[in-house]
Structure 1
């Protein structure tokens, strides 16, 4: 009976992480619509998108430390409410763009708390499974929410009436269900009652193994994803049969859908091989995907470039998911129960730096275009392989 309760609990918590992930990425395929229908400038849309990261990064660190001392459920309950509130504010965006800024900022706050503490909660409820089971489940929940929300928002944005309203309705329904489901889920974590304050950044984040074996490649987790559906999809979207919003959603779905499908295999590889093997595989996929993307971007005369980009999205999705799962498994190996959520948070902070890839590339591309920089990233991914092998062997 206890195992059945535990199983129901991890599923309920994974649904909560899935719902927050959905709320975080539902905005991405709608950028074109906000420019076209509301007359927002490119800089305004970019700023609205970036406010999410401003809320996310510090909350990842603070919420992870707080949940290490006080437990997971007590934090995740208000986080789910906050995620729903963020979407309600997004619905008001057509009235005043300030609501979009506030909604995206609150979505970042909710995501920062959920991805660290929520992932740790899923891991703790999966303690009876093989090594890496909890990390895989948390990563699938996160990636699934990201991917399906992007695909759904792209389809709604292209075909549904009032797309800037109706695109957010699925999250309101899903988030409400997740709130009810996770409210009473078991929380096996025992809060730490000691007088000492947990450090903002766990000591394990300062070890050589983490600094040289994890930190250098961590930004490539979301760097791969954003390269696919933000950079390359935007560069080649003009070839997408006059359906740029739908194409953006499909690119999100293909990228992150490929990531969901590959994650069980990554977990099996991580459990049966040296720690560096899945990471090397992820870096290789990232390097190949970025090299292929650079080649397509440099070939404007190639017929059907938008279709050729789909297998590149699969490669980058495999790179994203492999690095995400392998990174969470490595964090699990390097941390203990008192600092696990905190180290997960540090990993996600580093990983989310990759979301700045489109904006960094845009600035660097003012002279010479984006192709040399995309190709350069492919080279960087390849050069990180021997470094990772040395540090994690």
Structure 2
């Protein structure tokens, strides 16, 4: 929702303040992700999601009554970030757990990615329409959001809990809970460190460059608000559309979606540099599609790998760690804004593509290219196992 409202605040706040408000969301989100995932393991998913919804409405109310003061809007944005961080890890785990009964492997990750991306896609488009054509957008947009939260609360209240609240399970021989590897074992595993860690920041790095940085760097004329919403919807809609393709890639090999996603990031950043240089609106739309596709492929493949590596008692924590890494990408538009005052923004985007190449290179460490052996195959998480 806030992506389109940025256009409203640009009239009264500096460019740095506006981008800081966009990125401040992650300041509240990342700590909440890491803490509330474990809380939901003890208290249950429903309780945490209900508290997150209430906090989300409170954050919008704080911004609604901020009077345009930067500090108050910042506080509201951080509250919204805390609420999102409280929801994403437990919510993703909840969807996966509810999808485990009689569903194909990976269904939970795909549904979680679809739900998350749909919200990110529809929110800016709806708020873009509000900002462009409805009166008092600073009031109307937040009232719509609070109303939607109120309508969602009873739905979550009636939803089935996936597992009853439980105390910490007994430790296994590896120090982690029985029935799966401990969270630290997963987070320090070779696959997580070499595949998830370097590529996850580019999930939202790709998306936010498209929906937050480019609409500022490319003039949209008198339709900046709705235009920004359209770019956000195209970006994230492409992320939804590409997910079946990501699943087909994953069936070919576990490395394929990660390498394809990072290659799309590189292509998208180079196209972004060209878009900024030419100011072409058609190229802007095409770039949004490429960066959105990169976002979608990396999001669903990263979630699937994280879920496959985690045990049943650590899945919420591992997912939270994955999301925390993805939200590092929310800093990218701020960096483009700050560094753009020193150098040409197109050069900064090109430098970003070079940095993305290093993340692509790490996937060769995660899955070394080697001749196929008739005696060994790869399982879903990319580990070797003997053929039986």
TM-score by length of 2: 0.87
- Note if contact 1:35-1:42 (Cα within 8 Å) is conserved in structure 2: yes
1:342 equivalent to 2:324? Answer no
Deviations 1:109-145 (A, max 9, x none): 1100111111110111011211111001011111111
1:279: Cα distance to partner? 1.2
3-state SS, counterpart of residue 168 of structure 1: helix
1:98: Cα distance to partner? 4.1
- Note if contact 1:202-1:339 (Cα within 8 Å) is conserved in structure 2: no
1:327: Cα distance to partner? 0.2
- Note if contact 1:201-1:346 (Cα within 8 Å) is conserved in structure 2: no
3-state SS, counterpart of residue 197 of structure 2: coil
Structure 1 gaps, min length 5 = 1-25
- The match for 2:137 is 163
- Note if contact 1:202-1:342 (Cα within 8 Å) is conserved in structure 2: no
Q: Choose which of 104, 112, 115 in structure 1 pairs with 2:88.
A: 115
1:180 equivalent to 2:154? Answer yes
1:384 equivalent to 2:339? Answer no
Structure 2 gaps, min length 5 = 368-381, 383-388
3-state SS, counterpart of residue 135 of structure 1: helix
Pairwise mapping of residues 134-145 of structure 1 onto structure 2 (< 5 A)?
A: 134-145=108-119
What is the rounded CA distance, in whole Å, between the counterparts of 2:240 and 2:217 in structure 1?
A: 25
3-state SS, counterpart of residue 40 of structure 1: coil
- The match for 2:206 is 224
Q: Choose which of 141, 151, 154 in structure 1 pairs with 2:125.
A: 151
What is the rounded CA distance, in whole Å, between the counterparts of 2:103 and 2:353 in structure 1?
A: 36
Q: Choose which of 34, 37, 41 in structure 2 pairs with 1:61.
A: 34
Q: Choose which of 205, 229, 239 in structure 2 pairs with 1:259.
A: 239
Deviates more, 1:356-365 or 1:74-83: 356-365
3-state SS, counterpart of residue 36 of structure 2: helix
- The match for 1:361 is 336
- Note if contact 2:207-2:295 (Cα within 8 Å) is conserved in structure 1: yes
Pairwise mapping of residues 258-297 of structure 1 onto structure 2 (< 5 A)?
A: 258-270=238-250, 272-297=251-276
3-state SS, counterpart of residue 214 of structure 1: helix
Q: Choose which of 43, 68, 82 in structure 1 pairs with 2:55.
A: 82
When residues 44 and 293 of structure 1 are mapped into structure 2, their CA distance, relative to the original with a 3 A threshold, is: closer
Deviations 1:5-52 (A, max 9, x none): xxxxxxxxxxxxxxxxxxxxx11211121232xx23334333433332
Deviations 1:87-123 (A, max 9, x none): 2222213364443223211101110011111111011
Q: Choose which of 221, 240, 245 in structure 2 pairs with 1:241.
A: 221
- Note if contact 2:131-2:225 (Cα within 8 Å) is conserved in structure 1: yes
1:386: Cα distance to partner? 3.8
- The match for 2:375 is none
- The number of residue pairs the alignment matches comes to 359
What RMSD over aligned residues (CA atoms) do the two structures have, in Å?
2.1
When residues 377 and 42 of structure 1 are mapped into structure 2, their CA distance, relative to the original with a 3 A threshold, is: closer
Deviations 1:299-352 (A, max 9, x none): 35xxxx123210110110000011000000000111011110101011111100
What is the rounded CA distance, in whole Å, between the counterparts of 2:285 and 2:168 in structure 1?
A: 52
When residues 96 and 294 of structure 1 are mapped into structure 2, their CA distance, relative to the original with a 3 A threshold, is: closer
When residues 187 and 315 of structure 1 are mapped into structure 2, their CA distance, relative to the original with a 3 A threshold, is: same
- Note if contact 2:49-2:86 (Cα within 8 Å) is conserved in structure 1: yes
What is the rounded CA distance, in whole Å, between the counterparts of 1:189 and 1:182 in structure 2?
A: 15
- The match for 2:8 is 33
- Note if contact 1:90-1:100 (Cα within 8 Å) is conserved in structure 2: yes
Deviations 1:185-222 (A, max 9, x none): 11122434248799996331111211111101110000
- The match for 1:5 is none
TM-score by length of 1: 0.86
What is the rounded CA distance, in whole Å, between the counterparts of 1:365 and 1:88 in structure 2?
A: 33
Q: Choose which of 82, 106, 110 in structure 1 pairs with 2:79.
A: 106
- Note if contact 2:20-2:334 (Cα within 8 Å) is conserved in structure 1: no
What is the rounded CA distance, in whole Å, between the counterparts of 1:65 and 1:365 in structure 2?
A: 40
1:355: Cα distance to partner? 0.5
What is the rounded CA distance, in whole Å, between the counterparts of 1:332 and 1:358 in structure 2?
A: 29
